Amino acid sequence: MSTVPQKEQKKYRFVLYKGKNGTITPKVFSFALLQLSVLLVFTTYFSWTGVAICMISYAIRMFAITGFFHRYFAHRTYSMGRVMQFIAAFIGTTSAQKGPLWWAAHHRHHHKTSDTEEDPHNSHLGFWHSHMLWFLYRETEGRTHEAIPDMAQYSELRLLDKYWYVPPVMLGVGLFLVGGWHWTVWGMFVSTFFLSNCTYTINSLMHYWGKQTFRTGDQSRNHWLLALITFGEGWHNNHHRYQASTRNGFYWYEYDITYYVLKAMSLVGLVRDLKPVPEKILEEGRLNRELRQEARRVGQDYVPVKVVQRDPIPLGKVVAPRALYLRAELLSLGQQVDLVRDRLAEEMERLRGHVADKRDLLNQELHNLDGTVAEGVKRWRQELEILGEQVAAIHKHLAEEIEQLNAQVADKKQQLGQEMQLVVDRLAARSKRLRAEMLLLSEEIVGLAVEVGTDIQRLGEHIGERVRLLGAEIEEMGNLLPKMA
């Protein structure tokens, strides 16, 4: 399961545990002490100031992990200057999750081998392995600078990665100098415990708990609660579907605090070039949401689909967006055709000007030359022939491009026609079925009316008979009364 070259792995005289997943070395004690340091909260008192310091420290460092370590160093979803880059790396390193190069290298390797045997925190090996045990193994200790050459080229980042424990110590000392032991406990130890374990849930819980909007080939999931406590990292399935986006919450209702902060930073120039989510990915998510709702209505389980080619869209709310998207693509292709035509016109105009310049130069040389006139004419005539061939080749190439674009436009129009015909056929079939059901229901209502009428007639006859008998009894009793008197 090793993800680093053997030469970069540290050698230990003592090995605490060696299993099929990795080797535990004495460095586990330092990690255990860092986690157990949360118990130092019992050495001080409770105060709302301490809670506020804890939350502020958590928020700043959680944003640094998600916004800087993850979305910048690991995935390069936006850009920043070198000074800002070092500041971001330093703040992220105060989280005590090693350096930015180590963090980003292992995360990139995770995406390449997600939930396979080569994945450093493979969720199939159990919750605790993916949560924290994986980085305690000797096999994951290496700095793996060769796995992240774009970032490892900066000497300051390599230095920070090597001495990653210095920023957390500086944070603890700074808190102690400002607020004493009380601030250090709440702002460093308690905050780091919650920060680290909330971050680890993305590797563990987010591969067990939640829903899959996209089919990614692994166990990544989305969950609103983890997205809240990790500032947007809970939209993990979204991220595994498209890693190059600055935003993990793809839709307006998927809140992403980290993205909101990065967007604000871009407005003041601290970062730039935030990468959006492509429309085709958003369309795929909307399609899966509609298909999931349809499956839920009929009581079936649903597995998300991954749209590779433009498959027919089912009936429902996605028909109109699909038609608009195809129409936009047709307009885009038309614009490309226009651009190619304009480029062809510009190229032809440039070549005409070049030919004219050559002709003028030839005429000038013809006037200046004596004995070499014939040779010069021949040479320039050859050049003109070569230029003519180049013009013909360029014209042919651009004509082929226009023909290909026209073919693509025709294919898109045919595909849209087929999809709309499929929608019409389905609607016709559904209308026919409803018409038959209405006829059957009408027949049932007529039959029921006949039965009810028959029952009412019988009830009237029965009531008449009862009235006649009752009248007879009253008449008989009337005859008895005089006798009794």
Query: 328-387 pLDDT, tens per residue?
Result: 556 566 667 777 777 777 778 777 777 777 777 777 776 776 556 567 667 777 887 888
Q: Indicate the SS3 state at residue 467.
A: helix
pTM confidence score: 0.61
Helix (H) or strand (E) holding 425: helix 373-484
Check whether 413 has a pLDDT greater than 90.
no
One-letter amino acid at 424 equals V
Which has the closest alpha carbon to 57: 164, 163, 172?
172
- Cβ(181)–Cβ(44) under 8 Å? yes
pLDDT at 225: 94
322 token code pair: 């699909």
Rounded-to-10 torsion of CA 91, 96, 101, 103: -120
Contact 101, 73 (CB under 8 A): yes
> Which among 133-137, 255-259, 471-475 has the top mean pLDDT?
255-259
Provide the 3-class DSSP secondary structure of residue 242: coil
Residue 459: CB atoms within 10 Å: 10
Mean pLDDT along residues 168-197 = 95
pLDDT, the chain, mean: 82
State CA 34 to chain mean position distance. 33
Q: How far apart are CA 302 and CA 299, in angstroms?
A: 10
Q: pLDDT per residue over 280-311, tens digit each?
A: 999 999 988 888 888 888 787 777 766 654 54
- Three-class DSSP category at 79: strand
- Helix, strand or coil, per DSSP, at residue 464: helix
- Angle in degrees, CA 391, 397, 401, rounded to 5: 140
Residues in CB range of 203: below 8 A, 6 or more apart: 110, 121, 123, 130, 131, 134
The enclosing H or E element of 18 equals strand 17-18
Sorted by sequence, the CB contacts under 8 Å of residue 302 that are 6+ apart come out as 291, 292, 295, 296
Contact present, 221 and 206 (Cβ < 8 Å): yes
Radius of gyration for the alpha carbons in the chain, expressed in angstroms and rounded: 39
Better-scored residue on pLDDT, 208 or 172: 172
> Of the candidates 104, 107, 110, which has an alpha carbon nearest to the alpha carbon of residue 152?
104
Q: Which of 420, 358, 413 is nearest to 386 (CA)?
A: 358
Closest CA to 160 of 82, 59, 56, 108: 82
Beta-carbon contacts of 373 under 8 Å, excluding residues fewer than 6 positions away, are 366
> What letter represents residue 185's amino acid?
V
Residue with tokens 């005089």, as numbered in its chain = 482
| The pair of three-digit structure tokens given for residue 53, joined into one six-digit string | 């310091």
Of the ranges 13-22, 153-162, 413-422, which one carries the lowest mean pLDDT score? 13-22
User: What's the burial of 3, exposed, middle or buried (CB within 10 Å: 0-12/13-18/19+)?
Assistant: buried
